[in-house]
Amino acid sequence: MKIVKSESPGQFFIVGMDVAKDQRLSLTERGMLLTLLSLPPDWDFTVEGMARAQGIDERLKASDQMQWVRMMNNIRVCAKEIIEEDLIFV
């Protein structure tokens, strides 16, 4: 399986036809692979990384605890859905 990424983040990546035609991967799995490859190399897949990307930080926690809890719970639910729907049950 040959994958070549550009040195410039976000520019392009090349995926060989063996990846596109690999029958061991479902269409969903191939789509997820391409999505993950298209993300910047410093992308953070953790709950903390998702929170940081949405601007949820300690300042929000100090100023509006209920909003912080709602937003963090939403991120946890989203992360759980990604894992269960896309990774486990495919």
pLDDT in tens, 44-74: 678 888 888 888 999 999 999 999 999 999 9
Question: 14 lies in which domain range?
Answer: 1-43
Same domain, 55 and 28: no
Structural domains counted in the chain: 2
pTM over 0.85: no
Same domain, 52 and 28: no
Which residues, other chains included, contact 26 with Cβ-Cβ below 8 Å and sequence gap of 6+? 90
The CA distance from 38 to 60, in Å, is 30
Same domain, 54 and 89: yes
Rg (the chain; Cα; Å):
17
State the chain's mean pLDDT as an integer. 77
Confidence band of 8 (pLDDT split at 50, 70, 90): low
Same domain, 38 and 48: no
Q: Which amino acid is at 3?
A: I
Confidence band of 89 (pLDDT split at 50, 70, 90): low
Q: Report the run of H or E that residue 80 belongs to, with start and end.
A: helix 65-81
